[in-house]
């Protein structure tokens, strides 16, 4: 079996780390990096730290409008599909790279495979929401991370035989990365951070960075926290703070640091008392690492983490942020929502069987 895997942004590199290890044992994988994240700290460092094979193709699409970036992905990926003739094109998540690959694959004879399908925020103002819905409805094989995600797909009329509940490949990755990070990362010593005594924060979505009122409300609330707040600053956020003339002001109140590598970030997230984030991937990583999460959005794709009490939707509301920063962690055991850390193996097993008229049922996911 020959699989063309398409990645372009941080969450996809992490998921690829898990899948490529399972896939390359017995099959041929061609890896394509669109270049949607082109900053070295947001891209190349993940390949280095996680041992992901060097991409066979680099499109270098870079930053642009959503339409142009997606179009560049379509053209470049179509050329690679024509040259490589893969059996399947595998895409992750909800980026413009994902949608570009979905369009190109759907026009070819290759099967389109969507990992992390069935997630919905129900906010069509988010480009990611449009990307994931369109990709799901074009895909031949849908790998859902949870039963709820599968039910969403079924509710939208997608054929049951395309849907496979396999768990979450990000859980596979975080289990391996957590132990590696505890041994290899020196970030806590470098920043003189006692475990459990600081808050980690990430802010990067345009909804928060492009609205000065939202951005300042979030940062002001974090600056009022009792614990020290460490903020690895995304390039988009860095530019916005510079444009607003607020970089120096917030640097005096918050620990603003350069973007960190994946292992360093996992170590920070594992050791933090709380995390405040607008990232979908970080919400889920926090859940896996038992770190209580404040989501700086009005909605989330990971509704199960909110329902079980490990995630709080606080938007850009200073009062809700302040309450979340001091709220205790949930009592009782944490539920098993996203599998047992063997999602990548399940994905390969289904692909080996190939699309069939009958739904392929992987073995039941064990409890944690």
- To the query of whether residue 204 is one of the catalytic residues in this protein, the response is yes
The single residue of 33, 37, 204, 234 carrying the catalytic annotation is: 204
Distance CA 258, CA 255 (A): 10
Distance CA 110, CA 86 (A): 6
| Torsion sign across C-alpha atoms 17, 22, 25, 30 | negative
Contacts of 46 (CB under 8 A, 6+ apart): 10, 13, 14, 17, 52, 261, 262
Catalytically active residues, by annotation: 204
């Amino acid at each position: 079996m020959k699989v063309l895997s398409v990645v372009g942004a941080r969450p996809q590199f992490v998921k690829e780390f898990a899948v490529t290890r399972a896939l390359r044992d017995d099959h041929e994988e061609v890896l394509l990096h669109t270049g949607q994240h082109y900053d070295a700290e947001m891209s190349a460092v993940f390949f280095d730290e996680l041992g992901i094979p060097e991409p066979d193709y680099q499109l270098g699409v870079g930053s642009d409008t959503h339409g142009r970036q997606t179009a560049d992905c379509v053209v470049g990926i179509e050329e690679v599909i024509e040259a490589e003739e893969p059996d399947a094109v595998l895409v992750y998540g909800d980026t413009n790279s994902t949608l570009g690959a979905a369009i190109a694959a759907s026009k070819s004879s290759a099967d389109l495979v969507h990992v992390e399908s069935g997630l919905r925020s129900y906010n069509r103002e988010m480009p990611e929401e449009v990307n994931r819905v369109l990709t799901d409805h074009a895909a031949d094989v849908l790998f859902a991370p949870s039963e709820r995600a599968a039910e969403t797909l079924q509710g939208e009329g997608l054929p049951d035989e395309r849907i496979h509940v396999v768990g979450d490949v990000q859980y596979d990755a975080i289990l391996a990365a957590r132990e590696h990070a505890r041994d290899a990362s020196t970030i806590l010593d470098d920043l003189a951070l006692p475990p459990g005594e600081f808050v980690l924060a990430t802010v990067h979505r345009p909804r928060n960075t492009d609205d000065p009122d939202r951005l300042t409300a979030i940062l002001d609330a974090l600056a009022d926290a009792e614990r020290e707040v460490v903020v690895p600053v995304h390039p988009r956020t860095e530019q916005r703070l510079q444009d607003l003339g607020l970089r120096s002001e917030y640097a005096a109140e918050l620990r603003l640091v350069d973007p960190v590598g994946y292992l360093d970030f996992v170590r920070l997230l594992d050791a933090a008392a709380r995390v405040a984030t607008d990232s979908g991937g970080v919400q889920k990583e926090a859940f896996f690492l038992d770190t209580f999460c404040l989501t700086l959005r009005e909605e989330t794709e990971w509704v199960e983490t909110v329902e079980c009490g490990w995630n709080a939707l606080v938007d850009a509301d200073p009062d809700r942020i302040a309450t979340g920063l001091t709220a205790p962690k949930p009592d009782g055991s944490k539920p098993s929502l996203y599998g047992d850390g063997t999602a990548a193996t399940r994905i390969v097993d289904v692909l080996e069987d190939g699309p069939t008229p009958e739904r392929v049922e992987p073995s039941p996911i064990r409890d944690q």
